[in-house]
Amino acid sequence: MIKSKALVRLTFLGAMIAWLILLFSDITVLFSSMQGLHPDVPVWLPRVMLAAYIIFLYYYYKFRIELDDSLNFTDLLWKVFATGLITTVVSLVFRLFVFMLGTTALATNIVFSDFICQINLALLVNFLLSALSSWKRLILYQKSKWLIRTWLLFEIILFAVLLYDSAGITFSETVSTTMNVIIGLLVLALAANMRWVAYLNFKQKWTSLLLLLLTFFYLAYFFYTVERSTEMISKETTAFLDYRTQLFIIVLASFIITYGIFSFLVILFNLPTSSVFEQKLEEVVNFQRISQSIQTEQDEESVYNILLESSVSSVFADAAWLEITGAKNDRRMFTYRVSEQESKNIREHLEKNNIKGVLDSGSEKTKNLSKHLGTMKGSRFRSLLAFPIVVKEETIGTLALLKELPEGFNKEMTRIVSTFANQAGISIENFRLMEEAFQNARYKEELKIAKTVQQSLLPNKLEQDKDFEIVAFSASADEVGGDYYDTLRINEHLVALIIADVSGKGTTAAFHMSQMKGIFHSLAQQLLDPKEFMQRANQALVYCLERGSFISASYFIIDTIEKKIRYSRAGHCPVLYLRAGSVESIYLKDKGAALGMVRSKDYCNYIENNEIPYGPGDTMVLYTDGITEAKDGKGEEFGNDRLAVALNEKAGASAKEIEDNIIKRLYEFSGSNNLNDDYTSMTVKFHG
Amino acid sequence: MVHIKRLQESGSDIIAVIGEIDASSSIELDLAIAKSVGEGFKKILVDCNALEYISSAGLGVFMSYIEEFRDKNIQMVLYGLKEKVANTFEILGLADLLHIRENKSEALKLANELSV
């Protein structure tokens, strides 16, 4: 940066020095020629110095304008205009000075005239070169290889012309004519590059026109001034730097003027269509806003608002509304310059006229409903366009655009808004997917908690007695299950056992399980017989279980005095019992409906008391359906028979060994440790 | 996965359940029964010939309608249960709460008798 600043200063300094040398050498030459003396400086010096001045200034503007990226189109024109203004003001100051001198000797002095003429010429060249840099930026705005080459050729030719000027040689007529034609064609080819005009908005175009007009004015002024003073001097002598002999200045001026006129005309003729370009640009921006709204942590509401705004501004609608049915079936209205009552009236009118599937969510296609509005009285709107908002192939809402003019919407507008509506649909879909992902994460977290709760509901320690030993095992799948087992000592010789399976999974199951635990712990202590226990449990649960939910349970009371097991089965898997000395275990299939199935006092008709005696060496296995319904690779179930065999195999073994065998056989069968359900078993081995 | 077909025969609505009913597919069964009730059928037969498996949630669906059926005097009869499925009904004690028959003609007969 410092380097380029230094360069700017250096080139400006160089230009100043070159110009001063030019001025003094030219005046010297002129003065010598007037006095008939031989000049002390070579006659070619002014020409060469002009070339040096031009080159320095060229680079000065190259650094000032061409390499400054922050400039936009109007800024470029503004720079040209500003340079023009400064140079004109400076020129006018000198003019004023001359005017004030009046008809004094100095004013008519040819040397002084040359001095003024040279100043004006330098200012003109300065102005032209700043315009050249700006024009270059404009022409090369959208570069192509061909364009860059053409420009390069043009610059080389300009340079050649400059050399030609400073060398002071003259070519024959034909050569110079050919050169002129080539340069002329090149200028025309370059002047055709007007792409930047399309990017100007309406206001910028007006500004540009004004700036160009003023630029022409400056040029005209300078040419007039320089021409007049040159004319004056040339009447007296030819021994001075006459700009008319400087081809470079003529070529440059004609290029600047040609491109300026072209630009002016193109901008002028583009004025009426500029609104279309602006609109297109706005559409693109709006489209981007809709697609990006999702990434900027905005909510659905802002997507709707952006959609409404964008659609309205794209088709110049007078009013609009957006009706959305949310994820929770709630209806929301977004309106723009229309009251909800008005929109309701319109919808009712359309409904009354039996225009099916329109503004309700059943519509799938974009519809132009303008003709139906014509018959509506009291409405200020005469055009209506309706679009469905589709998310996951489901219409979640309607966008309605209104205009006060009849037939106010064309096909193009319909297409644009359709695109907006589609994009909004995608944005909302993405948004909902994201929300779902969050919900899932939260649900998983909840499940984790439920699982911890469920685990804590199972007993750490089971009741033991000299008459029997109890072991239990429970494993659950990823999801929270509803298996429950527990034991409770009622008194010295009575111990209560329960095994239950809550229908359903997840947090609800864990919740019902905790209820079951509460019921068990409160009712078991009251020394109820098993049937009574079930009846009361059912009574209690009816109020907490939702429709369709139930709990299967088996309740046992082991009486160590009478050596009996009294039990009641409420829809739970039949107990597996193996008598000591027997080789075959049996299932105790008794009657009993699950808890919560019959929600009245009638439940007593569906449950019964049962009793079996036990003896030393007997084994009782309680389990949940997760075990019997465990599947192998072929989809076959573990079943009651395999469970019975697993018990039979270890008839004489301890409770723990029997349980281990059941688990082993189960895992052997299902082939993997992947659980799909809850497995729970409670094994009771009798000793007494 | 479950597939549910409905067809009407001599004033009865026959709901054929094909496949397996688990927690997620039980919703479809629930919908089918609710539809049938909503359409005002007084005799609903459930064809379980092609029912391979039913989970507790599926049983819960049948169970949840018992009271409503009693109040509205609707007769529901299940028929053609596979042994395994029947066993599930049996264990849970639903066999006593629901009407279950061997085949369609018996089921129809029962439904007609009950609705008199």
pLDDT at residue A332, rounded to an integer? 82
Element (H, E) at A269: helix A247-270
pLDDT at residue A544, rounded to an integer? 83
Chain A closest-CA separation from residue B88 CA (Å): 9
Residues B56, A593: C-beta atoms closer than 8 Å: no
Question: Given CB atoms, is B57 within the 8 Å cutoff of chain A?
Answer: yes
Residues A224 and A218: their CA atoms lie apart, in Å, by: 10
Indicate the pLDDT class of residue A365, thresholds 50, 70 and 90: low
Integer angstrom CA distances of residue A481 from A38, A289, A378, A542, A675 = 118, 47, 63, 20, 11
Chain B closest-CA separation from residue A375 CA (Å): 40
For residue A502, the chain B residue with the least C-alpha distance is: B56
Q: Which residues, other chains included, contact A621 with Cβ-Cβ below 8 Å and sequence gap of 6+?
A: A575, A576, A577, A578, A585, A643, A647, A658, A662, A681, A682, A683, A684
pLDDT over 70 (residue A192): yes
pLDDT at residue A27, rounded to an integer? 85
Chain B closest-CA separation from residue A425 CA (Å): 29
Residues A626 and A624: their CA atoms lie apart, in Å, by: 5
Residues B94, A571: C-beta atoms closer than 8 Å: yes
pLDDT at residue A484, rounded to an integer? 92
Percent of chain A scored above 90 by pLDDT?
27
pLDDT at residue A480, rounded to an integer? 64
pLDDT at residue A362, rounded to an integer? 43
Regions of chain B short of the pLDDT cut 70: none
Interface test with B, best of A479, A502, A547 (most B CBs within 10 A): A547
pLDDT at residue A305, rounded to an integer? 83
What residues of B are in contact with residue A572 (Cβ under 8 Å)? 91
pLDDT over 90 (residue A375): no
pLDDT at residue A374, rounded to an integer? 67
Q: What pTM did the predictor assign?
A: 0.54
Highest mean pLDDT among A378-382, A499-503, B47-51, B95-99: B47-51
Section A318-325 average pLDDT: 86
| CB-nearest partner of A548 from B63, B94, B96 | B63
pLDDT at residue A354, rounded to an integer? 64
pLDDT over 70 (residue A675): no
Residues B60, A505: C-beta atoms closer than 8 Å: no
Element (H, E) at A502: strand A494-502
pLDDT at residue A569, rounded to an integer? 94
pLDDT at residue A489, rounded to an integer? 93
Block residue for tokens 């009638």: A602
DSSP single-letter state for residue A593: P
Question: Given CB atoms, is B1 within the 8 Å cutoff of chain A?
Answer: no
Residues A627 and A197: their CA atoms lie apart, in Å, by: 80
pLDDT over 70 (residue A550): yes
pLDDT over 90 (residue A176): no
Highest mean pLDDT among A41-45, A198-202, B63-67: B63-67
Residues A176 and A669: their CA atoms lie apart, in Å, by: 104
For residue range A126-174, what is the model confidence (pLDDT) as tens digits? 999 999 988 888 888 888 889 899 999 999 999 988 888 888 777 778 8
Burial per residue of A495-508, b for 16 or more beta-carbon CB atoms within 10 angstroms, e otherwise = bbbbbbbbbbbbbb
Question: Given CB atoms, is B56 within the 8 Å cutoff of chain A?
Answer: yes
What residues of B are in contact with residue A548 (Cβ under 8 Å)? 30, 57, 60-61, 63-64
Handedness of CA A200, A206, A207, A210 (dihedral sign): positive
- Residue among A554, A239, A287 nearest B91 (CA): A554
Residues A279 and A284: their CA atoms lie apart, in Å, by: 9
For residue range A64-98, what is the model confidence (pLDDT) as tens digits? 877 777 778 888 888 888 988 998 999 889 888 88
pLDDT at residue A210, rounded to an integer? 92
Indicate the pLDDT class of residue A478, thresholds 50, 70 and 90: low
- Residue among A240, A245, A242, A243 nearest A27 (CA): A240
Amino acid A481 reads: G
Residues A573, B91: C-beta atoms closer than 8 Å: yes
For residue A482, the chain B residue with the least C-alpha distance is: B56
For residue range A558-596, what is the model confidence (pLDDT) as tens digits? 999 999 999 999 999 999 999 988 888 999 988 889 998
**3-class SS at A304?**
helix
**Domains (ranges, CATH) in chain B?**
2-115 (3.30.750.24)
Integer angstrom CA distances of residue B36 from A31, A234, A549, A594, B43 = 120, 113, 21, 26, 9
| CB-nearest partner of B60 from A550, A593, A606 | A550
β-strands B43-47, B75-79: how paired? Answer: parallel
Select the more confidently predicted residue: A373 or B74.
Answer: B74
Contact A676, A629 (CB under 8 A): no
For residue range A240-299, what is the model confidence (pLDDT) as tens digits? 777 777 888 888 999 999 999 999 999 999 888 877 777 777 778 877 777 776 555 567
Residues A310 and A313: their CA atoms lie apart, in Å, by: 5
DSSP states of A343-380: HHHHHHHHHHTT-TTSSSTT--S-EE-HHHHTT-TT-S
Contact A414, A421 (CB under 8 A): no
Residues A514 and A617: their CA atoms lie apart, in Å, by: 34
ipTM (interface pTM):
0.87
Q: How many CB atoms are closer than 10 A to CB A22?
A: 23
pLDDT over 50 (residue A363): no
- Sheet strands (E) in A371-453: 383-391, 394-403
Give burial (CB, 10 Å; 0-12/13-18/19+) of A3: exposed
Interface test with B, best of A551, A554, A588, A597 (most B CBs within 10 A): A597
For residue B55, the chain A residue with the least C-alpha distance is: A503
**Domains (ranges, CATH) in chain A?**
2-276 (no CATH), 293-435 (3.30.450.40), 458-686 (3.60.40.10)
Indicate the pLDDT class of residue A360, thresholds 50, 70 and 90: very low
Residues A260 and A143: their CA atoms lie apart, in Å, by: 19
For residue range A217-250, what is the model confidence (pLDDT) as tens digits? 988 988 888 888 888 888 877 777 777 778 888 8
- What values do phi and psi take at B103, rounded to 5? -135, 180
Question: Given CB atoms, is B19 within the 8 Å cutoff of chain A?
Answer: no
Integer angstrom CA distances of residue A175 from A47, A165, A170, A181, A182 = 22, 15, 10, 10, 11
Residues B63, A505: C-beta atoms closer than 8 Å: no
Residues B66, A598: C-beta atoms closer than 8 Å: yes
Question: Given CB atoms, is A599 within the 8 Å cutoff of chain B?
Answer: yes
Count of A–B CB contacts within 8 Å? 62
- What values do phi and psi take at B29, rounded to 5? -65, -45
Chain A closest-CA separation from residue B92 CA (Å): 3
pLDDT at residue A538, rounded to an integer? 94
pLDDT over 50 (residue A361): no
pLDDT at residue A323, rounded to an integer? 85
Block residue for tokens 């706005």: A282
pLDDT over 90 (residue A547): no
